[in-house]
């Protein structure tokens, strides 16, 4: 997990990349809505996510890192603003 955090931190700070994070609300009974074939192998969420994240009511369900094409007019547009911005973005990945 620490390796992924380091990669995404680098991506967040890179001029030519964009990191997207998808969040969802935490639903304790979500296992009841998965396909039957997956239900038996679906691990309990409290084994996957730290308790303080579960208590927040939302969890990260996907993260994607994209590289912008050379010469993109979006270069640097998605960098965090301010000194504390990286800390805020980094904490959301934890």
pLDDT tens-digit map of 54-73: 788 887 888 898 999 999 99
Contacts of 13 (CB under 8 A, 6+ apart): 79, 80, 86
Cβ proximity of 80 and 2 under 8 Å: no
If one compares 42 and 63, the residue with the highest pLDDT of the two is 63
Residue 42 confidence (pLDDT)? 64
- Mean pLDDT (whole number) for 4-22: 84
Task: Quote the mean pLDDT of the chain.
Answer: 76
Lookup result for tokens 């990191």: 19
Residue 21 confidence (pLDDT)? 87
Please state which of the ranges 26-30, 31-35, 78-82 shows the lowest mean pLDDT.
31-35
| Domain, as residue range, for 80 | 2-93
Lookup result for tokens 């009511």: 57
Q: Report the C-alpha gap between 25 and 43 in whole angstroms.
A: 18
Residue 25 confidence (pLDDT)? 87
Total count of domains within the chain? 1
């Amino acid at each position: 997990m620490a390796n992924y955090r380091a990669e995404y931190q680098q991506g967040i700070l890179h001029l030519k990349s964009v990191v997207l994070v998808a969040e969802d609300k935490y639903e304790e009974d979500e296992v009841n809505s998965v396909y039957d074939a997956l239900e038996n192998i679906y691990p309990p969420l409290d084994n996957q996510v730290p308790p303080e994240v579960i208590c927040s009511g939302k969890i990260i369900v996907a993260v994607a890192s994209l590289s912008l094409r050379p010469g993109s007019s979006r270069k640097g547009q998605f960098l965090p603003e301010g000194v504390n911005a990286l800390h805020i973005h980094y904490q959301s990945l934890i």
